[in-house]
Copies of this chain bind each other. A is one copy, B any other.
Amino acid sequence: MVILGCGFGGLAAAKTFAGEDVRVTLIDRENHHLFQPLLYQVATAGLASVAIAAPIRHIFRRQRNVTTLLAEARAVDLAGKRVVLDDGAALAYDYLIVATGATHSYFGHDEWARFAPGLKTLDDAMEIRRQILLAYERAERATDPAAQRRLLDFVVVGGGATGVELAGTLAEIARHTLRDEFRRIDSRTAHVTLIEATRRVLPTYPEELSEKARRQLERLGVEVRTETRVTRIDDDGVWLGDQRLAAGTVVWAAGIAASPLARTLGVPLDRAGRVAVGPDLSVPDHPHAFVIGDLATVASGGKPVPGIAPAAKQMGRRAARNILARIAGRPGRAFRYIDYGSLATIGRNSGIAVIGPFRFWGLPAWLFWLFVHIFFLIGFRNRLMVFADWAWSYLTFARVARIVMTGESHKASE
């Protein structure tokens, strides 16, 4: 059995095989499982990388039927039932779970990546952190007032959960965290603009909560521009049609695209590059291969399953159980998504939440968010650490992970 990818889906699948008489090879190109919902906290120096990442082989050290390999899958040969790895080696499987997820997409403008990093991996988060903190450092050194102004202008593109969280945190950093630390600039004059193409931020939430979120962002000083489309990004900022918005730092939180591995399957993909799997999550006509998480598109109860962590976990467990059923000669079951609700945070003390029939916002939503995220973090130690870091930042407004590396290797990538 081979599992490709150890995000929420792959991890849940591998754990489901615990104690079963199967041998699992778990392949990921990183050595760690990442708690992605808190990645924006790493990007904004609120948490250290280690707080939200756990070494995959450490997670499975006692589950002896799992072999972890640090490798990247280049192609899947469904007919030959094998996976081709980055070094050209082929790995045969009897059952396969593909869980390589999604990455950010620049809608065909890959040249924007240079100027507006996206946020999917720890590497991305460290790069965004570096750009944010160095913008302030450069502003303190700048002698030209126009250059100084531009360095203190931040733009976040994309008003989904990640964009809203980033924009809110950036505003807080300017107003609180860095307040007393500069002598030549006033960090509070930094300006954060959040750009969203559709009519409202957090478009997957009820309209009423989008409005709450917008007002909470504005209270933090974020300028929210909806129904606004970015047409170009360069070294000086972004273009909105004819209008130029100067900015020293642009962060991309807009499009997502399915992992390119899907294209090697040779099966039909949807517009976003995802695999339309059968009700049991297997690939049509390939009953030994399953696709789960952000890479799969499937409906449950007549509605498309959203691309969020709880859905990926549920799919992982279902795919693993269907494989065990198949091995035992029993039929698999159709995937049924259980919606536990959605949550987003906007800044210190504010957020929005939809839990079943309940909608709430502000401090209660934020506290609920805090509780849920700490609870679901991998590992007891990480939970304690994140809780301690947050308690500390909450009390002091400090951000704990403001270390960036400015060595030659990093300068070279500028």
* Contact A410 B141, beta carbon cutoff 8 Å: no
Cα A184 to Cα B69 with chains together (Å): 10
Residues of chain B lying within 8 A (CB to CB) of residue A190: none
Closest to A406 in B: B30
Q: Is A405's beta carbon under 8 Å from chain B?
A: yes
Q: Are A71 and B141 in contact (CB under 8 A)?
A: yes
Q: How many copies does the complex hold?
A: 2
Give residues of chain A (377-397) contacting chain B, Cβ–Cβ below 8 Å.
Answer: 381, 384-385, 388, 392
Q: Which of A46-54, A154-162, A340-348 is the interface stretch?
A: A46-54
Residue of B nearest to A402 (CB): B55
Does A133 reach chain B (CB closer than 8 Å)? yes
- Decide if A409 is an interface residue (CB 8 Å cutoff): yes
Instruction: Give chain B nearest CB distance to A335 CB in angstroms.
Output: 30
A62 at the interface (CB under 8 A from B): yes
Q: Kindly identify which residue among B48, B180, B407, B409 contacts A48, using a CB–CB cutoff of 8 Å.
A: B48
Which residues in window 356-414 of A have CB below 8 A to B?
381, 384-385, 388, 392, 398, 400-407, 409-410, 413
Closest Cβ–Cβ distance, residue A82 to chain B (whole Å): 16
Check: A232 CB closer than 8 A to any chain B CB: no
Asked if A410 and B57 make an inter-chain contact with CB atoms under 8 angstroms apart, the answer reads no
Residues from chain B with Cβ under 8 Å of A141 in the complex: 69-71, 87
- Knowing A49-B403, A70-B406, A403-B55 touch, does A137 contact B31 (C-beta < 8 A)? yes
| A122 proximal to B (CB < 8 A) | yes
Chain B: minimal CB distance from A408 (Å)? 8
Q: Is the CB of A401 within 8 A of B50?
A: yes
| Known A180-B61, A181-B61, A381-B392; contact A69-B406, beta-carbon cutoff 8 A | no
Could you list some 19 contacts between A and B, CB below 8 A? A31-B134, A31-B137, A32-B402, A48-B48, A55-B181, A55-B402, A57-B181, A58-B181, A58-B402, A62-B180, A68-B140, A69-B137, A70-B141, A89-B143, A123-B407, A123-B409, A123-B410, A384-B388, A409-B413
Closest 6 CB pairs of A and B: A123-B407, A70-B137, A57-B181, A67-B183, A61-B180, A55-B402
